[in-house]
Amino acid sequence: MTGVATRQSPPRPLHVAVVGGGPGGLYAAALLKRLDPARRITVWERNAPDDTFGFGVVLSDETLGGIEHADPVVYAALSGEFVRWDDIDIVHRGVRHTCGGHGFAALGRRRLLEILHERCRALGVDLRFRTQAPHPSLLARTHDLVIAADGVHSTTRETYAREFRPTVEDHRCRYLWLAADFAFDAFRFEIAETEHGVTQLHGYPYATDASTVVVEMRDEVWRAAGFADMDVRESADRCAKIFTDALGGRPLRAGTSTWTTFRTVVNAHWSHGNVVLLGDAAHTAHFSIGSGTKLAVEDALALAACLEEHPTVAEALTAYEEERRPVVASTQRAARASLEWFEELRLHLDQPSRRFAFNLLTRSRRVTHDNLRLRDARFTAAVEREFGCPPGTPPMFTPFRLRGLTLRNRVVVSPMDMYAAVDGVPGDFHLVHLGARALGGAGLVMTEMVCVSPQGRITPGCAGLWSHRQAEAWRRVVTFAHRHAPGTAIGVQLGHSGRKGSTKLMWEGMDEPLDDGNWPLVAASPLPYTPRSQTPRELTRAQLTDLREEFTAAAWRAARCGFDLLELHCAHGYLLSGFLSPLTNRRTDRYGGSLERRLRFPLEVFDAVRSVWPEERPMTVRISATDWADGGTTAEDAVEIARAFAAHGADAIDVSTGQVVAGERPAYGRSYQTPFADRIRHEAGVPVIAVGAISSWDDVNSLILAGRTDLCALARPHLYDPHWTLHAAAEQGYEGPGVVWPAPYRAGSRRPRTGRTDAPRPRLTLGG
């Protein structure tokens, strides 16, 4: 259906239809009726009043504050029902660790609905239970506003799918809502390693004598354990046996829910005409961060406010979406990170139990090392001791060894193309740029991608290492770093642009072909990067040999320059990356086809470079762990690629993603590439460097301490602040061997004062 006929509505909606009688729809109805008693509001709910899926509901203090401000009557009723607690218990291989200071409030879902039913009836809302709502198009014609709060399987959303443009993604775990007739004394996560695979319990109290219990496992575990052939009662009994210790031998109670897989719902648009989506109809977020009801209630608050603040329904719905979409997107990113962590739970089981607990607590990236230290300093300090942090030393300032090189801290200045070389020769700009970052305290400073031949440049401004003149210029940079920033290692990244070469400088048009002065391109296969790009020639066997020799010669020069580490660039769609991805390698010879064959030439280059690179100096490899495109490199492929390079002597894998094909669809977000590094670290058993939207020292500490990475590479933060690492130490009050202020800079190792802070506070207020 491409359109919706709407009635001519007054500036404020007077006749409102709400489809769905869950907490979000009911609360929206109550708010709108309270704001304007003249409104005629009808709620349609196809189920009975006391039907509910799930048992308990968790709300945050932030959400409760919004409810208190908007409707004190509802807030007062809720406050009398809440069970509150602060602790999270995590049980891993029989060991329980408790972390406090979290602050939860929960109540029974059925009681929440009763409170909202009572409030709606008292205000005069027409509640129609066991009644299917009229067709959305009819509601839209006969009402000023239609609020579609009809859940994850929203009929309204599907009716106008062309307009809302929903994306619904099913995930890999099965879960079942159950209840126990006693109250846990904390939010409890418990892991069971059964003969069929890993199963987890999420449990929390919602009354003085009752708890919600969610049991979750991968689909293959669910099938192997025989749950597919059990009814819900049998499943509850089986789950009670699996988690008999957590439950104290008590049974589990089944409700109306059944085993299901979680579905992530995203909509391109939240409104169409006078129809608007709310709650799970608009968006979902995994239950492991306790957000579904919270988001729905916050949607209702925002929608009601926008309808009051704007003169027309259309403007109000636009404002509602603009206000809520960024909040929801952030929550969905956190929920996805949490969901995926539990999907890959098996990867983390061999961690020490306390570190496992820290990893679980920080899985969504919203709770961090610093945040946990504020909540429970004793727990966090114990995790740090278990990790090996000396007293007063943040995780980021612990050393890390790669072959014969010991980095004094875990911070890497990520390779960043500067496009400032002339004929491939790094000049004063590179000396100042890299010299400043070396003085800034990072454990390792990486050059930009240094090209192995003139034809291997991305742009005319790219630096190279194919000539003696370039080598001498790089030696100058390395010597400065070693002399003036002793203890800071400097690494070189070698690469070849492949099909992404002969383009303009980034600020003149990224990936745009040069207007003139182009050079011919070569690649694994004759596929242009974009429709505007030059089509490369497919490399012949003889050319592959020549290319391998170019890499070897550049590596030999790099060694003579004194670089401490060499990284081979096999990511981002450049030449070696082009061999690895099935989207860019269509060869039919021994270098194309299966992953093993696509790896062959990059491994040949690696072996050739390793043969001339000094034995005591480490080599790393940067890869794109996913192409973010259908048919491309997958996370599973990335593990195999990492294993192959590690088997050939790579000391660490620098885990990036994407930039391989122009039509990619990355899932951006804070630390969004880290899960790929985490998986490679645990499955391939090789040290990793995480990179991608890691922006704070708190992120670095969190990722290192959780065991998701060994090193963190940061790019933009080091452009914003060349002394990012020094300042991170100052802000954390750290002074020690993990970071050293250059002698001329020591006077700046304390944050400058910005104004007077000791003025007397006002004591009296005198009336006029």
Report the catalytic residues: 574
For 202, the enclosing helix (H) or strand (E) is strand 197-207
Integer CA distances (angstroms), 585 to 104, 234, 528, in order: 52, 51, 12
Contact 138, 119 (CB under 8 A): no
For 84, the enclosing helix (H) or strand (E) is strand 83-85
Quick one: CA dihedral 756, 762, 766, 768, positive or negative? Answer: positive
763 Cβ contact list (under 8 Å, min separation 6): none
Angle between helices 724-731 and 697-706 (to 10 degrees): 80
Task: State the DSSP code for 397.
Answer: G
User: How big is the CA angle at 166 (ends 165 and 172), to the nearest 5 degrees?
Assistant: 150
Burial of 656 (0-12, 13-18, 19+ CB in 10 A): buried
User: How big is the CA angle at 694 (ends 690 and 696), to the nearest 5 degrees?
Assistant: 130
Radius of gyration of the chain (CA): 29
In whole angstroms, give the CA distance from residue 587 to residue 567.
26
Q: Is 290 left (phi over 0), alpha (psi -120 to 50) or beta?
A: left
In whole angstroms, give the CA distance from residue 120 to residue 39.
12
The tokens for 251 are: 């049974």
Task: State the DSSP code for 535.
Answer: P
Contact 189, 89 (CB under 8 A): yes
Q: Nearest to residue 276, comparing CAs of 240, 321, 233, 244?
A: 321
Q: Please name the residue ranges forming H helices in 146-192.
A: 155-159, 161-164
Beta bridge partners of 198: 193
- E strands, 578-634, are 619-624
Quick one: CA dihedral 543, 547, 548, 552, positive or negative? Answer: positive
Q: Torsion angle, CA of 305/306/312/318, rounded to 10 degrees?
A: -160
Integer CA distances (angstroms), 561 to 272, 338, 468, 564, in order: 63, 45, 10, 9
Integer CA distances (angstroms), 575 to 51, 330, 494, 503, 509, in order: 59, 35, 11, 15, 21
112 Cβ contact list (under 8 Å, min separation 6): 23, 57, 78, 81, 293
The tokens for 104 are: 């939860």
State how far Cα 246 lies from the chain centre. Answer: 31
In whole angstroms, give the CA distance from residue 456 to residue 576.
11
In whole angstroms, give the CA distance from residue 615 to residue 300.
63
DSSP string, 91-115: EETTEEEEE----EEEEEHHHHHHH
Q: Nearest to residue 104, comparing CAs of 53, 64, 144?
A: 64
Beta bridge partners of 714: 413
Residues in the chain, total:
768
In whole angstroms, give the CA distance from residue 357 to residue 81.
30
Neighbouring C-alpha atoms within 13 Å toward the C-beta of 305: 17
In whole angstroms, give the CA distance from residue 459 to residue 78.
63
